[in-house]
Amino acid sequence: MSIKLAVLSILGRKPSSGYDIKKTMQRSPYMPWSGNNNQIYKALVELSDDGLVSGETLHREGSPSKKVYTLTAEGRNELNDLASRPPEPPEFKKPFLLQLASADALSDGELLALVDAYENEVRLQLAYHEGLMRRMESRGDEHEGEEEEAEEETPGDRRALLLKLVYENLVSSIESELEWTERLRSALKKPERREHE
């Protein structure tokens, strides 16, 4: 799964400039890219070379020009392929686990402090994602464009349901992490009592 597919997916929603795409990526936590210029503008050039998107420069008065990219028919096909491609498994990247596994030289107090610090980080993440989710549920998310084209094939409700489930996934992953920190803490508090359970 490369960043090009993420770009196609965004353009499948509505035609956008590089800058728009960057913004969308940055507030879509289910896209595992940071949304930096270098990749996006490069991806757009390549997609354009491959004939999957076409860009048109909009000269506007009173604000800077933008290059708006649209999916071509080919690009639309590619996007439909994407949807039915065999799914990749999730990846959990948790440097904290390495830290924990290397922490046997720490005192109990230091260890518990470390766990507290981690839990704080995770709580911050949770608050952030819950915020995004609420914002998406109240406003229509990714709907803020001015060009209100009539939606063609999809009921729209389906789309909203799927998006909601995506955010639920992220939130529940984070909650599961918090539950684990609880278990971790209690395992550390009653030390060495496991042998006859």
Partner DNA sequence: CGACTCATGTAATATGTTACATGATTAA
Partner DNA sequence: TTAATCATGTAACATATTACATGAGTCG
Positions that interact with DNA (CB under 7 A): 2-3, 17-20, 22-23, 32-34, 36-39, 41-42, 44, 61-68
Among positions 76-105, residues that touch a second copy (CB under 8 A) are: 79-80, 82-105
Cβ 15 to DNA, closest distance in Å? Answer: 11
Residue 125 is encoded by which pair of tokens?
A: 């993440």
Cα–Cα dist 168/150, whole Å: 28
The answer for residues whose C-beta is within 8 angstroms of residue 39's C-beta and 6 or more apart is 3, 33
In terms of CB distance, is 41 or 96 closer to DNA? 41
Q: Is 143 helix (H, G, I), strand (E, B) or coil?
A: coil
Indicate which of DNA, a second copy, none lies near residue 3 (CB less than 5 to 8 Å, by partner kind).
Answer: DNA
The CA-based diameter of the chain, rounded to the nearest angstrom, is 77
Q: Whole-angstrom distance between the N-terminal and C-terminal Cα of the chain?
A: 44
Edge-to-edge order in the sheet of strand 66-71:
16-17, 66-71, 53-58
Cβ 139 to a second copy, closest distance in Å? Answer: 17
Cβ 120 to a second copy, closest distance in Å? Answer: 9
**Per-residue binding letters, 129-168, with a second copy (x by CB under 8 A):** ------------------------xx--xxx-xxx-xx-x
Indicate which of DNA, a second copy, none lies near residue 71 (CB less than 5 to 8 Å, by partner kind).
Answer: none
| CA pseudo-torsion sign 186, 191, 195, 197 | negative
In terms of CB distance, is 18 or 75 closer to DNA? 18
